[in-house]
Copies of this chain bind each other. A is one copy, B any other.
Amino acid sequence: MNKPMNLPAHVSIVEVGPRDGLQNEKQAVAAADKIALVHALQDAGLREIEVTSYVSPKWVPQMADNAEVMAGITRQPGVRYSVLTPNQKGWEAARLGQPDEIVVFGAASEAFSQRNINCSIAESIERFAPVVESALAEGVRVRGAISCAVGCPYEGEIAPERVELVARLMRQIGVQHVGVADTIGVGTPRRVQAALDAALKHYPIDAVSGHFHDTYGMALANVYASLEVGIATFDTSVSGLGGCPYAKGATGNVATEDVVYLLHSLGITTGIDLDRLIDAGQGIRAALGQANGSRVARAMLAKRAA
């Protein structure tokens, strides 16, 4: 047999359920429930939480309570609270909430960029330059998300060169960390590794993260394949928020519980208490009146009940 590769000893989880997850849930969630979710997550040991987004409520009504949610959180030392900022206006609003980090984004697909925000990839990143500059000047960290990093709904497969382009442009404007995001969940291990390698041409290994959606059930295999190339940061969504587990073609983020279970089983530390994490997921799913989308949560809850 081949010798197993060395995997990272510790992995950082960026919990994106409150933002990427809830933004993709059709149903409204009260600000109090979102705040309770953030509290439950930090109590479970999460140290990076993407809380909300400062986008126009016209486009994303689910995040209209961004200021209320940010103000309502009882912050814990050592926890990094991040928010999505789509533009200068979003940053101006976001800074009032005193986030530790902002997230800017760009698609690795020219067609997606054109259709979604009506400009080229290069223009879309350039527009973020003043936002990044301003944030860094105030001591706020800046993370970049490279969406459509493996596939695009319009273009199909995305070449790693596109990811490399976005990574290079983000690096140029001062973005400190990039996430390689398979936002439509079509990635498989080798393609994901190729996309990560492309980003690694412009960022060191500890400044690149993996972000996978589980549309085809490949997300955990992709996480494992990412660990093999040394990636040690992943975006995940508690209880798989953002995709209804029972919907046809559900496209939710990979569940935090499932990733944590995999990591712990590989002897990789995360600092997260899996049982409390499951409770956090159950809490928000109860608020939504939905079943839990994490297979690990479902299996462990069945065991608890037995």
Contacts and interface: CB of A to CB of B under 8 A. Distances in A.
Interface of A: 1-2, 4-6, 185, 188-191, 193, 196-197, 200, 205, 214-218, 220-221, 223-225, 228-230, 246, 248-250, 255, 258, 261-262, 265-267, 291, 294-296, 298-299, 301-303, 305
A229 B248 CA distance: 34
A150 to B, nearest CB: 10
A39 to B, nearest CB: 26
Given A224-B225, A295-B216, A302-B248, A200 B261 contact: no
A278 B6 CA distance: 37
Nearest to A185: B299
Given A215-B299, A266-B189, A2 B1 contact: no
B223 A220 contact: no
Contacts of A267: 190
B266 A188 contact: yes
Nearest to A2: B5
A282 to B, nearest CB: 12
Contacts of A255: 217
A218 B250 contact: no
Nearest to A254: B217
A13 B246 CA distance: 27
A188 to B, nearest CB: 3
